[in-house]
A and B are shown apart, each in its own frame.
Chain A
């Protein structure tokens, strides 16, 4: 996935996430207030405990001890209830905040330019949609809210230690100094290793997705061994990078921990000496031990947090970059088809810049005529069809329908007017009715029935106990290739577009099924303009004219029946003797 030049840092990542936080401001404020209250309690409790110890141990003042103990208990009970409320907010935010980011990403995915999506890995997009928004939430909770609270608490602990004795306070602050120093030294390396780890994981997820979807092909090609070796290689690579990142991070943490340990020994020694000399009570000593332990934990947490933040910023960066990926243009002019004539004028297009696949294609499909488009695999037949529905834009030339330039029309209006049937028919997990309604959401029951009858699905549907409400797809009944094609034809009936494109729709069917589908085609093609991309002569013979594409250009056109006799190219393409 491409990255934009706009690199996010900690602050700009917060700026990016602010728009999503705005909708949940109230909840984030409650969440923060709760954690702040919890943090303040964490400072208060050891002080209360210290007072209890002093009153009980030195002065045997059990009345005071009991009273303070009750206040201590009150704080503990409050803390328990507070956690319950906090985690309720956390659960809500985790779902809703994450959902709002996912919704944006998904919405953008629907609008992304086909060219951009063609280069994107499915696995990476899945990870972007599912995992990265969760990391955004973790960033806010751990790298913002917890970080701010921990900094506040570190300041309070440090201030208390300084108030007790400036020697102890200064020594405690040394641990903060060393932590910051170690962080600055290790940050770059840890950051770049973390970035490498995330990229490797994204690439691995993409590869894994493609392997899982192609398992049958792998078995047919007897490629299990090679795939396993590649799997092990990728796992080792992930492990290597993960280990390097982990070692770097652990080294930094251990260095911080070691410096903290030395400072802790100094502080404990100093405090113990002061207590032994009577300059400090046991209660104060307890508080110092507790506060310093917490202070060093906070400093370690803040250091680790700083490193984690860099990692999470890279996830936010990916979401940020994806949301800036080019989308299909928005136009206001609506395509209105009166007759359905299509013209390509000097159209050139290539997927890679500098290597045109289609070179100055000029052809016209008159309204109501059926044009077959044939040629060797990779000559650009499907590309031409995709240009017609606006998935790509020609680099040169113009496409017009009834004289209206396609590049001036809103793409949703273009797709409303064109029916596209491919070899792989999309079957949603749902009922037959729901799948048919994809053609026309507002179709009445009678229209549905007429559509599936015309498509030749009546015997199949009427044989099912639940009829149109039968569940199909991965969670229900599977459909054969022919049934799927008939489903696609029924959708076309319901949609009733003026222009139809059949893109190798019957390539995977046996001859008998194909013939039956062709019967259904004849009905649906009546009065419509059609572009039929085919590798089979039987599909071509249904059409009024045939175009042969070769080397990115129109090599030949003619009437199919005549070309079958007179055209060497035609006869070679269809292996006619």
Chain B
């Protein structure tokens, strides 16, 4: 009984009456969330319309595109399949960016949508800067 009363007094003092534990809890969570969302990084992708012919992708663009990660994603219909390939070579000339893919690619040809990994951003930036969009 004594032990129960002691626990009740402790509970009232620290969990209810004092704001310290509450504020510490909120503070720790926000701190951990800020750190976690700043540490977790996600790919930042830029989307372009392109043409694919075998292993070569041609993107018409005003300037050379920087490939942050030697990898591109492309698809005809995103909801069907998104293909991911490593980049063997990339060159820009006459307003066209040519990207050569590693490995054989025969499934897609013609007009596609390409997503190039242009950088990284933190989860925090993705949530609060881009409302969750890539």
Which A residues are within 8 Å of any B CB, using their own CB? 26-27, 29-30, 33-34, 37, 44, 47-48, 50-51, 54-55, 58-61, 64, 67-68, 70-71, 74-75, 78, 81-82, 85, 88-89, 91-92, 160, 163-164, 275-276, 278, 281-284, 287
Alpha-carbon separation in the docked complex, A47 to B134 (Å): 12
Q: Do residues A88 and B126 form an inter-chain contact, with CB atoms below 8 A?
A: no
Chain A residues near B17: list those with CB within 8 A. Answer: 92
Alpha-carbon separation in the docked complex, A34 to B22 (Å): 9
Q: Do residues A59 and B73 form an inter-chain contact, with CB atoms below 8 A?
A: yes
Q: Is B131 an interface residue (CB 8 A)?
A: yes
Q: Do residues B36 and A51 form an inter-chain contact, with CB atoms below 8 A?
A: no
Q: Do residues B127 and A61 form an inter-chain contact, with CB atoms below 8 A?
A: no
Q: Do residues B82 and A59 form an inter-chain contact, with CB atoms below 8 A?
A: yes
Within 8 A of A (CB), among B9-62: 11, 15-17, 19, 21-23, 25-26, 29, 32-33, 36-37, 40, 42-43
Within 8 A of A (CB), among B43-98: 43, 73, 77-79, 82, 84
Q: Do residues A74 and B133 form an inter-chain contact, with CB atoms below 8 A?
A: no
Chain B residues near A75: list those with CB within 8 A. Answer: 33
What are 20 of the A-B contact pairs (CB < 8 Å)?
Answer: A33-B26, A37-B29, A47-B131, A47-B132, A54-B134, A55-B42, A58-B73, A60-B84, A67-B40, A68-B123, A70-B40, A71-B37, A78-B33, A85-B15, A85-B21, A92-B16, A276-B79, A278-B113, A281-B78, A282-B79
Chain B residues near A85: list those with CB within 8 A. Answer: 15, 21-22, 25
Chain B residues near A89: list those with CB within 8 A. Answer: 16, 22
Which B residues are within 8 Å of any A CB, using their own CB? 11, 15-17, 19, 21-23, 25-26, 29, 32-33, 36-37, 40, 42-43, 73, 77-79, 82, 84, 113, 123, 126-127, 131-134
Known: A30-B22, A37-B26, A74-B33. A59 touches B43 (CB 8 A): yes
Alpha-carbon separation in the docked complex, A74 to B39 (Å): 14
Chain A residues near B33: list those with CB within 8 A. Answer: 71, 74-75, 78
Q: Do residues B25 and A67 form an inter-chain contact, with CB atoms below 8 A?
A: no
The 7 closest A-B pairs by CB, nearest first: A47-B132, A67-B40, A78-B29, A92-B16, A58-B82, A278-B78, A30-B22
Q: Do residues B43 and A64 form an inter-chain contact, with CB atoms below 8 A?
A: yes
Alpha-carbon separation in the docked complex, A223 to B22 (Å): 59
Alpha-carbon separation in the docked complex, A236 to B53 (Å): 81
Chain B residues near A64: list those with CB within 8 A. Answer: 40, 42-43
Q: How far is the CB of A36 from chain B (nearest CB, A)?
A: 10
Alpha-carbon separation in the docked complex, A405 to B49 (Å): 101
Q: Do residues B131 and A71 form an inter-chain contact, with CB atoms below 8 A?
A: no
Chain B residues near A91: list those with CB within 8 A. Answer: 16
Closest to B77 in A: A278
Chain A residues near B19: list those with CB within 8 A. Answer: 26, 29-30
Q: Do residues B132 and A74 form an inter-chain contact, with CB atoms below 8 A?
A: no
Q: Which residue among A30, A82, A164 has the maximum number of chain B CB atoms within 10 Å of its CB?
A: A30
Closest to A93 in B: B16
Chain B residues near A26: list those with CB within 8 A. Answer: 19
Q: Do residues A70 and B36 form an inter-chain contact, with CB atoms below 8 A?
A: yes
Partner of B131, one of A68, A92, A164, A282: A164
